[in-house]
Structure 1
Amino acid sequence: MISRFRTFLDLAILAGATVAALLALSGLLGGLVPLLDLVNHFQLLIFLAAVVGLLASLVWPFLRKDLRHPVQLLLLVPLLCSSSLLLPDLYRRMTISEASAESLEARGLQPLKLMSFNIYLGTWDGDGLARSIFRHAPEVVNLQEFPPKRFRRQQDLKKAYPYQANCGYWRTCTLGILSKHPLSDIKHYDLDDGGGRNPLHGKMLAATIRAPGREPVRLYNVHLGWPLPLSVKQTQFQRAEAIIKAEAAKTPNQLVAGDFNATGWSFAVDGFADDLGFSRRSQFLPTFPSPHSIIKRLSPPAFLSLDHVLTSPTLSSGPVVRASAELGDHWPILTELYVPKR
């Protein structure tokens, strides 16, 4: 009886390794088959599971000893597949550095400090939000799940960021932009026809930042839907792309920032950036869940890179990093944009 159970466990391990290998291989086809790209959102978990599985296979007392090497070979497949997507992202993250003041001056650029932050709709702590923002002193704050009326009495935020934009009724759109510099040409867009699971998703808020001494920058604050339904997410990307391209002639300095609900190691985000001719500046940056997020009574470390910054060819940036905060289910992200002088 015990030997049968041990044999069953060995075969179950072999089956699990086979499924992991097939899943990882299917993710590599995500650029051709969008449905398979769903696997890539979990590549960091797949990588970690493959590492743990390989280590465990070294010490597991296989009754069927002939299965040890096949299991190890199968577990190498997800390890290599995940590495092919994750390691280039990690390398770019490690090789990006802040530009010196002398370098910016020589290139005719000036910095503009940006924070993007999904604060979570259930947040009521206005003081905590203000402290989280002031701690990093960004010039522009890009907020998702931000109901502006809830924080209308937060006078310190109003004083520090006198120029503000939002897209109206909070039950259908919770995007906000807080700026130390004047904002103009404020518009908000629905990027789908209401087919998503969450009415707050599929929204975009646009505003032109007019910072002294710098050329205008068109900021698109997005909160996109989850990967499923696939057709809805594709529609959101397509409509956002059409709007941004249509406005490029008027304001060529453009950036898209916010909660994409898609990881940087999926083909979807880079495909969107490539179609726009933009660069993804957020590299290997897991932002969900934050330490303040509870999932099934657990508080796991961040394993999904959902928040991004994309810039047009006329803009560049330093590294995009996670910033500390007192609230929110996402980590805020922070970067220095390098904007042409005016």
Structure 2
Amino acid sequence: MVRVVDAEDVELPRKPGGGWTTALLTLVSLGFCGWAALSLAALDGNRYAVALTALTQYAVPAGAVLVLIGLFLRRWLNVLIVVLVTLALSYYVVPRALPDEMPPAAGEPMKVLSFNAYLGEADAERIVAAVRRNRVDVLSIQELTPDLVARLDAAGLFAELPHRMLRPGPRGEGTGIASRHPLRELNAVSETVLAQPSALVDLPGRDVELVAVHAFWPMGENTVPTWERDLRALPGPSHDDRARVLAGDFNATLDLTRMQEFLGRGYTDAAAATGQGLLPTWPSGWFPPPVTIDHVLTSGNVRPEDYRVLDIPGSDHRAVLATLRVMP
């Protein structure tokens, strides 16, 4: 005997939670999409948007968690939207953790160390020890004060790197370059709030233009325009195979529009090229969430070969050490 069941008598399994759960998940998903849009649509025009965009690398795992929650709650539309947005973010973020395929190349090796000395309070002896231990060729040091210059001299930095172009200043204004090889002063950067000196490094067989970068901090009231002007003042990549390196504290992650412009114009980020692009450089602790705002950018016939992050006491930044190959 066949029993006919009325469709109205069939009780479909209910999704976990209720209407409030759906509303809350939808609200969180919309917030996630707005966060992603700041980077994907280049909407980082104020200090709050800059701060959120700088945390974009954390949006990828956050999206994965949202997808898992949506799957558990069987909210399929939420899952679909968040999956698509997370995949779009991953397209930009994940390659930074994957090294580029680069065939071996001949040329002059050049080790560049960049470090923000935190208002000149970093440990000078540990800075010099890092230079010696890693056989650094060029040091770009930000927030260089007259007192720190004296302590670095006493610790033996200028015996190790005798050629120097220093622009010390009060608190965070000073920046300097110290080199194992002769330097010739350049005027590659127009006047900016923080010193950004530039020099021609006379490597054996090939000169390299180097700029010690320190862009203004964009988190204060009305500071974003100043930060943008500091970054725009930096020279673009060379288009005649001249070797050019920008090394320092850009106060920007690769997700921000201004840094995307650098990469789009032809610069290569040494950390991303070597698969270390997600290593954080600031802060040295775990709050706020650490991000990568110190960079070594290369153009012309300069190829990144290795990249590391070093802890040096006394600073809220980690130092970045890039091994470059300057090809003839």
TM interval, shorter chain, is: 0.7 to 0.9
Matched, 1:321 2:308: yes
User: Tell me, what secondary structure is at the counterpart of 1:318?
Assistant: strand
In the alignment, is the contact (CA less than 8 A) between 1:119 and 1:328 conserved in 2? yes
Matched, 1:280 2:269: yes
Mapped to 1, the partners of 2:187 and 2:147 lie a distance apart of 18
In the alignment, is the contact (CA less than 8 A) between 1:24 and 1:78 conserved in 2? yes
Matched, 1:43 2:36: no
Match in the other structure for 1:128: 126
Match in the other structure for 1:220: 211
In the alignment, is the contact (CA less than 8 A) between 1:293 and 1:328 conserved in 2? no
Structure 1: state its 5+ residue gaps: 195-199
Match in the other structure for 1:331: 318
Matched, 1:252 2:242: yes
Structure 2: state its 5+ residue gaps: 1-16
> Among 50, 53, 56, which residue is 2:69 paired with?
56
Aligned partner of 1:49: which letter? Answer: A
Match in the other structure for 2:14: none
In the alignment, is the contact (CA less than 8 A) between 1:96 and 1:319 conserved in 2? no
Matched, 1:241 2:235: yes
Match in the other structure for 1:84: 91
Cα deviation per residue 1:28-62 (whole Å; 9 max; x = unaligned)? 121xx563984542211111211222233444xx5
In the alignment, is the contact (CA less than 8 A) between 2:114 and 2:319 conserved in 1? yes
Matched, 1:269 2:259: yes
Match in the other structure for 2:100: 95
In the alignment, is the contact (CA less than 8 A) between 1:143 and 1:175 conserved in 2? yes
Mapped to 2, the partners of 1:137 and 1:179 lie a distance apart of 11
In the alignment, is the contact (CA less than 8 A) between 1:98 and 1:319 conserved in 2? no
| Residue 189 of structure 1: how far off its partner (Å) | 5.4
Matched, 1:184 2:184: yes
Cα deviation per residue 1:63-120 (whole Å; 9 max; x = unaligned)? xx6xx223323322431221121123333xx235694xxx41xxxx111111112232
In the alignment, is the contact (CA less than 8 A) between 2:149 and 2:168 conserved in 1? no
In the alignment, is the contact (CA less than 8 A) between 2:305 and 2:324 conserved in 1? yes
Superposed structure 1 runs of 4+ greater than 6 Å apart = none
> Among 231, 234, 243, which residue is 2:225 paired with?
231
Cα deviation per residue 1:246-288 (whole Å; 9 max; x = unaligned)? xx98x9322111111111233321312444x433333124333
| Residue 174 of structure 1: how far off its partner (Å) | 2.0
Aligned partner of 1:50: which letter? Answer: G
User: Please, what TM-score do these two structures have when normalized by structure 1?
Assistant: 0.75
Q: Are residues 210 and 34 of structure 1, via their aligned partners in 2, closer, same or farther at CA, if it must alter by over 3 Å?
A: same
Q: Are residues 150 and 231 of structure 1, via their aligned partners in 2, closer, same or farther at CA, if it must alter by over 3 Å?
A: closer
Match in the other structure for 2:111: 113
Mapped to 2, the partners of 1:77 and 1:171 lie a distance apart of 45
User: Tell me, what secondary structure is at the counterpart of 1:152?
Assistant: helix
Aligned partner of 1:35: which letter? Answer: G
Aligned partner of 1:176: which letter? Answer: G
User: Tell me, what secondary structure is at the counterpart of 1:13?
Assistant: helix
Q: Are residues 274 and 261 of structure 1, via their aligned partners in 2, closer, same or farther at CA, if it must alter by over 3 Å?
A: same
CA RMSD, aligned part only? 3.2
| Residue 172 of structure 1: how far off its partner (Å) | 6.2
> Greater Rg, structure 1 or structure 2?
2
Aligned partner of 1:184: which letter? Answer: R
In the alignment, is the contact (CA less than 8 A) between 1:148 and 1:166 conserved in 2? no
Q: Are residues 262 and 124 of structure 1, via their aligned partners in 2, closer, same or farther at CA, if it must alter by over 3 Å?
A: closer
